[in-house]
Amino acid sequence: MNVVVLMNAGVLTKVVSKQFVVRTLCTGLVCLVTLAGANGQTAQEQKPQLAEDVFKNVQILRGIPVDQFMGTMGFFSAALGMNCIDCHTADSVGNWAKFAADTPVKQTARKMILMMNTINKGNFAGMRMVTCDTCHRGTDHPETVPSLAEQYATPAPMDPDKDEIVGQPASGPSADQIIDRYIQAIGGAQQAAKLTSFIAKGTYVGYDTDEGKVPVEVYAKAPAERTTIVHTLIGDIVSTYDGHAAWVASIDKPLPLLELTGGNLDGAQVDAEIAFPALIKRDFTKWRGGFPPATIGDRDAQVVEGTTASGARIKLYFDKQSGLLVRQVRFINTLVGLIPMHFEYSDYRDVAGVKMPFHWEQTWTDGQSTTQLTEVQPNAPIDDAKFGKPAPAPPPKLVN
């Protein structure tokens, strides 16, 4: 099963030069904005643009917002271990419009999606039990012959992200007890409640910066507003959640201002709310524990799972010894399967009597990034305009 993969320009930085990526972005943004205008979309419209409004020749994955379309491409990439230049025509890199050209791989992808849907409908009452990853597991051609080496080898450790309760829940503290211990570990509920906002500065490294270290600013206000500004060499990346809606203004996205929907919107809400631990029990519901023991790095962790207001699952992993949060995992739904995104937290420091992580690593299907804070100003006044809908990203700055 080979599939079409169209991912953001951050992935392209793994295989081509920064200058070439910049040229790709410049050309691509012009093409995509032109396509959007031709379909009658305006900046004033509130409805998120759909994949077929922005991209040409979308035949199967229609009727979903652009951000969910890109998430689906990320699922394909993870399932097959491929990226955009593996599936599209060679001249697509440098001209986003040419990604619409048909190839045998794209035609096969459409057939595979329909086959997958038929299997699930005919055998699992429409439940998505079979996905691309069921057969491919990170390779472009499924294995058809059993591996004796794998059969008799020591099984690899279970991925903590996939830990589930199977059979009877494990004995141990309840979810409430684990979360209460976390609140106590960061300074106590009374002290945590005093933290109502912060402004942070530091550095950011990721695929979208060509692995270069650049400045970053974070603005957060309780209960759930957050804006992050990454100052890249070719323009700012602005991610904003205003308590209800979320956007990303960036030149490496398929639109200069991308509205987040579905699981991506849920994730923006989670990131905004989790920054204020005093509200964690209120903001999420249906907490449960009883998961099997997990290991994060070389540390034992206790796992709890909660539910967001929209019903999405979120897992939190707490260091068994210190009680501090060390990982957050959430799952984003796509048309072809769930994709995980996780954050790992470390370097806790005291900020106005509350321990906060100054370091976190974010991993998702089409990128990785690392944020290291250098200073945090607690309870700082922040203008509400800082959390408003950002302006579309301007054309990229050309760099040598």
147 domain-assigned: no
Give dist(CA 315, CA 164) in Å, integer: 10
pLDDT score, position 387:
97
Using the 3D structure, point to which of 136, 152, 169 is the last residue of a domain.
136
2 domain-assigned: no
pLDDT score, position 115:
94
pLDDT score, position 258:
94
3-state class (DSSP) for residue 300: strand
153 domain-assigned: no
Question: Could you give phi then psi for residue 299, rounded to 5 degrees?
Answer: -115, 135
pLDDT score, position 210:
86
Global pTM?
0.84
Using the 3D structure, point to which of 102, 136, 170 is the last residue of a domain.
136
142 domain-assigned: no
Give dist(CA 23, CA 86) in Å, integer: 19
The domain containing residue 114 runs over which residues?
A: 9-136
378 domain-assigned: yes
Give dist(CA 331, CA 264) in Å, integer: 9
Q: Distance of CA 373 to CAs 183, 290, 341, 361, Å?
A: 21, 33, 21, 12
- 84 and 220 in a single domain? The answer is no
Question: Could you give phi then psi for residue 164, rounded to 5 degrees?
Answer: -135, 160
217 domain-assigned: yes
Question: Could you give phi then psi for residue 118, rounded to 5 degrees?
Answer: -65, -40
- CA 208, 211, 18: angle at the middle one, nearest 5? 70
280 domain-assigned: yes
- 100 and 183 in a single domain? The answer is no
- 349 and 244 in a single domain? The answer is yes
Give dist(CA 372, CA 351) in Å, integer: 15
pLDDT score, position 302:
93
- 212 and 330 in a single domain? The answer is yes
- 192 and 104 in a single domain? The answer is no
CATH number assigned to the domain comprising residue 337: 2.50.20.10
When divided into structural domains, the chain yields a total of: 2
- 109 and 183 in a single domain? The answer is no
- 197 and 323 in a single domain? The answer is yes
Q: Distance of CA 231 to CAs 109, 197, 201, 396, Å?
A: 37, 22, 11, 12
Q: Which helix (H) or strand (E) holds 354?
A: strand 354-364
- CA 141, 142, 147: angle at the middle one, nearest 5? 120
Please report which residue ranges of 124-245 form alpha helices under DSSP H. 132-136, 148-152, 175-186, 189-193
- 259 and 311 in a single domain? The answer is yes
Q: Count Cα neighbours of 214 within 13 Å in the Cβ-side half-sphere.
A: 21
- 68 and 188 in a single domain? The answer is no
400 domain-assigned: no
- 214 and 254 in a single domain? The answer is yes
- 71 and 209 in a single domain? The answer is no
Using the 3D structure, point to which of 85, 103, 136 is the last residue of a domain.
136
- 96 and 45 in a single domain? The answer is yes
Considering only CA atoms, give the Rg of the chain: 22
Strand partners, 202: 216, 373
pLDDT score, position 166:
57
Per-residue pLDDT of the chain (400 residues), as tens digits, is 333 333 343 333 333 333 334 334 443 443 444 344 444 444 445 688 999 998 889 999 999 999 999 889 888 888 988 877 788 887 777 676 778 888 888 889 899 999 999 999 999 999 999 999 999 988 888 888 988 998 899 887 777 777 666 555 667 889 999 999 999 999 999 999 999 999 999 999 998 888 899 999 999 999 999 999 999 998 999 999 999 999 999 987 888 999 999 989 999 999 999 999 888 888 888 898 888 878 888 889 999 999 887 788 899 999 999 999 999 999 888 889 888 899 999 999 999 999 999 999 999 887 899 999 999 999 999 999 999 999 998 876 655 5
pLDDT score, position 10:
36
